[in-house]
Structure 1
Amino acid sequence: MYRSRTSRSVYSFREHLKKVLKWPVYEQIFKETVLKHNA
Structure 2
Amino acid sequence: MKSASILKLHLLSFRLQATLDRLAAKLESVYKALGGKR
Q: TM-score, normalised by structure 1?
A: 0.45
Rg (Cα) greater in structure: 2
TM-score by length of structure 2 reads: 0.46
Bigger fraction of residues in helix: 2
Structure ranking higher on relative contact order (CA contacts 8 Å, 6+ apart) = 1
